Structure 1
Amino acid sequence: MKHKTFRFLKYWLPVFIWLIVIFAFSNNPTVRASEIHWRDFIVKKSAHVIIYAILSTLIYRALKSQKVETKKTGYISVFLASFYGITDEFHQSFTPGRDPTFRDMIFDTIGATLAIYFIWKLLPKMSEKVKLWAKKLEII
């Protein structure tokens, strides 16, 4: 029993912590990253991509630890990260100074998808040093 609890916490606790971080960010009123519109857009949308790529990777790692088939693990990771992005946008509709946008949901999904693409297609072609790092993080 202790082993199962430790294993669950080792793989799923980072996912839940990251979900809380995302929630905390979206619970605050929006702040301009730059006075120049296109810079503000690039910074914010890049943040969406990166944040949801990390979430998708953490979910992938947790599902992989449960011996879920590799293809299913990737698809489920993208789905769950994207779904959380949708719920996060809904949550923002209740946050003063924030508005939910379909565009943000798209960028969240792009980030989640890019992470899995990287794990499946690009990581296997990387140097042995990078692959060793990914194995230590239990991504591959």
Structure 2
Amino acid sequence: MFLRYNLFAILWILLILLLGLAPGESMPATNIWDFLSFDKVAHFSVFAILAFLLIIGFTKQYTFRFVRYKAEILAIVFSVIYGIAIEVAQSFIPGRGVEYADVFANSLGALSGWLIFYLIYKA
């Protein structure tokens, strides 16, 4: 039942992987200041959605008791580590590199995904 409740999160993880590891030539060419703002908002949003989906899936599944009861912290930790891993992997892609501002946006997004979950389900 773990896969059933986490299918959307897994698909989202794969989408992040495909987009995050696209070669630099595949990225749209825009003014650096316009793209910088959009880029950080995109990172923030993508990881907020990821953390939210993971918390929902982890909470609903009943295969792994530990994951169910620690869903929020595990989802945040996984999202942050995944964001860092994607940024590090980008250093091996031509035209891409590690951006610490992206790591910060990813982490902030993961925390906001938890906040959104909290506001919807706990408040």
TM-score range relative to shorter protein: 0.7 to 0.9
Based on CA coordinates, which of the two structures has the bigger radius of gyration?
1
CA contact (8 A) 2:80 2:110 kept: yes
How much has 1:32 moved relative to structure 2?
Answer: 4.2
Q: Which amino acid aligns with 1:45?
A: K
Q: Which runs of 4+ in 1 moved over 4 A?
A: none
Structure with more relative contact order (C-alpha pairs < 8 Å, separation 6 or more): 2
How much has 1:18 moved relative to structure 2?
Answer: 1.2
For residues 25-74 of structure 1, give each alpha carbon's deviation from its aligned partner in whole angstroms, at most 9, with x where no partner exists.
02212424632x322111100000111011101110111013523xx322
Unaligned runs of 5+ in 2: 63-67
Counting only pairs closer than 5 Å after superposition, residues 13-28 of structure 1 correspond to structure 2 as 13-28=7-22
Residue range with higher mean Cα deviation, 9-18 or 106-115 = 9-18
Percentage identity across aligned positions? Answer: 28
CA RMSD of aligned residues (A): 2.0
Which one of 24, 38, 43 corresponds to residue 43 of structure 1? Answer: 38
Q: How many residues align?
A: 116
TM-score (norm 2): 0.83
